[in-house]
């Protein structure tokens, strides 16, 4: 049955029940009204006529009109006979009234009064009888109305229970079907046979489910093909790759990763922490996942291919945005081991070459400087002005070569891990004095004035004097080179809670904030600078300071100069 017909049928039944109840109520009320009207119209009139005749009878001896009134009411009573034996009583009353003498005797009045009382008693009894019948009829009507109302309530309740269920049942089935489809159960089908409205919906739903099922099967085939293609690509890569899920389960490993980590294929699908219990290399790889993902720039040293190999670990967290969602969801980590063995070998060869070259260059440079010193000795003969200028130029170039050679030697010590510190307790002012004396000639040449800002009380340092003095000298030399003539440079120290800050401040051109991090990298030079240099001084300074457990920083803006600060722990 169609929903429209169900709604029409339910409303029609309710309307019919309400109409039936109304008709029955009107019918019973009309019957009660008729019964009550009968009592009032007949018996009440008889009582009224009898009362009028009694009053006329009482005045019959005094009022000549009383006899006429008596006969008129008698005539009305004769026309209003409704009860059994009332006719005989009225005929007897008529005989007595017609035989009344003039004047009327007391005996005659008493006889007429007795007849009137009998008529009145008969009507009163009839009224009581009819009233009881009306009450009985009212009770009967009440019970019938209650029965019909109860029947209407039962029918209405049945309709209220049956009708929503009959209408909502297909809707609930449709909701369940949609929920099954949402849960990827594309085998779900709907059947609303006999329901014309939902038959078309069911047909469309079943057609959609069939197409989704077909699409899923074709999509699964495509996904499996794409998965195998990706697995083939990953396995052909020469870099070890490990994929972890959000629960740290190993999702995949290519052949290179299995070989390097010395694992079997059955490790895939197991928890990485469980596998790492018996594999030190894997434990080192996933260590960063459990300590907040802190980056470790140190390469991983692994013995592979019958030699020592170096791998740079690249741990990338993976996020996706689910279909229909807005927020990204974490789905795991991708760990890639970049083989840097070749670069490590080239870097080692470069370091050895620079070290050898620096040592080899240091001896001839020292010989050149010694020869220049001898040339400047007047005991070997005087030099003219042009010759002295050439000797000075050669000496400057030799000093610069010697400085670069020293920087290269320091760099090779740092790269090879052969940097040795010989710390001792030192006053910060001693380091500052050394740097000022070392750059005195340079400051005089550039007409710069070096000022010292040193507090009265300051803690001592436990550092390698040579290394830290070299750092301060390098910073002061840079400040002189990048300051205009007749400018001042401030060198000083500041006491902190558990550290001492040594700073060098100039009022030159300044350094763009974009390069504040890059200037501490090797071979980097600020674009546009005209001062010659190797680009190693600040990088070596950073390594020296950090080797002492300290730090080096810069505060600079274009046009406001630069302030380099070394922070070292106190004794």
Q: What residue spans define the domains of the chain?
A: 3-169, 239-342, 346-413, 420-569
User: What digits encode the pLDDT tens for the residues 435-456?
Assistant: 999 888 889 988 999 999 999 8
What average pLDDT score do residues 525-535 get? 73
Q: Which CATH architecture has domain 420-569?
A: 2-Layer Sandwich (3.30)
Confidence (pLDDT) at 370: 75
Angle ∠(280,281,282) on CA atoms, nearest 5: 95
Euclidean distance between CA atoms 491 and 566, whole angstroms: 11
Determine whether 90 is exposed, middle or buried from the number of CB atoms within 10 Å of its CB (0-12, 13-18, 19+). Answer: buried
Angle ∠(20,21,27) on CA atoms, nearest 5: 90
3-class secondary-structure state, position 302: strand
Confidence (pLDDT) at 554: 94
pLDDT at 211 exceeding the cut of 70? yes
pLDDT at 121 exceeding the cut of 80? yes
User: What digits encode the pLDDT tens for the residues 239-270?
Assistant: 888 989 888 898 888 888 888 888 888 888 88
What average pLDDT score do residues 367-373 get? 74
Report the sign of the C-alpha dihedral through residues 240, 245, 247, 253, in that order.
Answer: negative
3-class secondary-structure state, position 394: helix
User: What digits encode the pLDDT tens for the residues 409-434?
Assistant: 666 666 666 667 889 999 999 999 99
Alpha helices in 62-105 (DSSP H): 65-78, 86-98
239-342 CATH choice from 3.40.190.10, 3.30.1360.80, 3.40.1370.10, 3.30.450.20? 3.30.450.20
Which residues lie across from 562 on neighbouring strands? 506, 556
Confidence (pLDDT) at 13: 74
Q: Is 378 within 8 Å of 404 (Cβ atoms)?
A: no
User: What digits encode the pLDDT tens for the residues 503-516?
Assistant: 999 999 899 999 99
Least confident of 40-49, 258-267, 295-304, 484-493: 295-304
Q: Tokens 């434990």 belong to which residue?
A: 283
Confidence (pLDDT) at 550: 93
Q: Take residue 452 and report the two structure tokens written for it.
A: 């010292």
Please check whether the two domains, 239-342 and 420-569, share a CATH topology: no
pLDDT at 151 exceeding the cut of 70? yes
Q: Is 481 within 8 Å of 531 (Cβ atoms)?
A: yes
Per the confidence metrics, is the pTM higher than 0.85?
A: no
Q: Quick one: which H or E segment has residue 512?
A: none
The rounded mean pLDDT for the chain is 80
Euclidean distance between CA atoms 308 and 461, whole angstroms: 40
pLDDT at 230 exceeding the cut of 60? yes
In this prediction, residue 352 has a pLDDT band, given cuts at 50, 70 and 90, of low
User: How many Cβ atoms sit within 10 Å of the Cβ of residue 509?
Assistant: 18
The 8 Å CB, 24+ separation contacts for 344-349 are 344/299, 344/310, 347/415
Range picked from 11-20, 108-117, 522-531 for highest mean pLDDT = 108-117
Q: Is 300 within 8 Å of 284 (Cβ atoms)?
A: yes
pLDDT at 404 exceeding the cut of 80? no
Percent of the chain with pLDDT over 70: 83
Confidence (pLDDT) at 125: 86
Confidence (pLDDT) at 326: 78
Range picked from 2-16, 316-330, 473-487 for highest mean pLDDT = 473-487
């Amino acid at each position: 049955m169609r929903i429209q017909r169900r709604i029409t049928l339910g409303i029609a039944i309710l309307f019919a029940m309400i109409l039936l109840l109304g008709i029955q109520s009107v019918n019973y009320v009309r019957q009660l009204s008729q019964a009550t009207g009968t009592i009032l119209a007949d018996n009440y009139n008889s009582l009224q006529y009898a009362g009028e005749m009694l009053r006329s009878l009482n005045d019959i001896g005094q009022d000549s009109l009383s006899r006429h009134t008596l006969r008129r009411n008698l005539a009305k009573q004769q026309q209003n006979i409704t009860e059994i034996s009332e006719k005989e009583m009225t005929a007897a009353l008529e005989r007595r009234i017609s035989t009344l003498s003039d004047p009327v005797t007391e005996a005659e009045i008493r006889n007429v009064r007795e007849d009137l009382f009998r008529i009145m008693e008969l009507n009163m009894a009839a009224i009581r009888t009819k009233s009881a019948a009306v009450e009985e009829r009212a009770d009967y009507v009440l019970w019938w109305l209650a029965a019909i109302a109860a029947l209407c309530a039962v029918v209405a309740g049945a309709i209220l229970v049956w009708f929503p269920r009959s209408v909502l049942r297909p809707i609930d089935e449709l909701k369940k079907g949609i929920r099954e489809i949402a849960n990827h159960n594309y085998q779900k089908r709907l059947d609303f046979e006999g329901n014309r409205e939902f038959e078309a919906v069911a047909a469309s739903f079943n057609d959609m489910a069939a197409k989704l099922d077909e699409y899923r099967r074709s999509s699964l085939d495509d996904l499996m093909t794409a998965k195998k293609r990706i697995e083939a690509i990953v396995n052909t890569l020469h870099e070890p790759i490990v994929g972890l899920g959000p629960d740290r389960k190993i999702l995949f490993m290519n052949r290179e990763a299995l070989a390097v980590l010395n694992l079997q294929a059955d490790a895939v699908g197991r928890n990485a922490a469980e596998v790492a219990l018996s594999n030190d290399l894997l434990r080192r790889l996933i260590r960063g996942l459990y300590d907040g993902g802190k980056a470790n720039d140190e390469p991983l040293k692994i013995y592979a291919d019958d030699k020592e190999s170096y791998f740079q670990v690249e741990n990338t967290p993976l996020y996706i945005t689910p279909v229909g969602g807005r927020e990204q969801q974490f789905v795991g980590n991708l760990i890639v081991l970049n083989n840097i063995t070749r670069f490590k070998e080239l870097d080692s060869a470069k370091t050895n070459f620079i070290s050898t070259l620096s040592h080899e260059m240091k001896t001839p440079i020292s010989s050149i400087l010694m020869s220049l010193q001898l040339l400047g000795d007047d005991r070997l003969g005087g030099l003219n002005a042009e010759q002295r200028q050439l000797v000075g130029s050669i000496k400057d170039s030799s000093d610069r070569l010697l400085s670069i050679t020293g920087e290269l030697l320091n760099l090779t010590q740092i790269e090879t891990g052969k940097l040795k510190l010989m710390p001792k307790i030192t006053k910060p002012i001693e380091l500052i004095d050394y740097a000022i004396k070392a750059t005195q000639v340079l400051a005089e040449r550039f007409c710069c004035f070096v000022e010292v800002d040193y507090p009265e009380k300051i803690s001592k340092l436990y550092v390698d004097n040579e290394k830290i003095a070299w750092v301060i000298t390098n910073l002061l030399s840079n400040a002189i080179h990048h300051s205009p003539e007749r400018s001042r440079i401030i060198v000083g120290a500041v006491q902190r809670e558990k550290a001492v800050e040594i700073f060098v401040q100039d009022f030159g051109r300044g350094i763009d904030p974009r390069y504040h991090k890059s200037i501490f990298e090797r071979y980097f030079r600020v674009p546009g600078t005209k001062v010659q240099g190797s680009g190693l001084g600040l990088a070596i300074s950073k390594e020296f300071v950090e080797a002492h457990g300290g730090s080096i920083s810069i505060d600079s803006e274009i046009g406001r100069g630069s302030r380099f600060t070394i922070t070292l722990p106190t004794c």
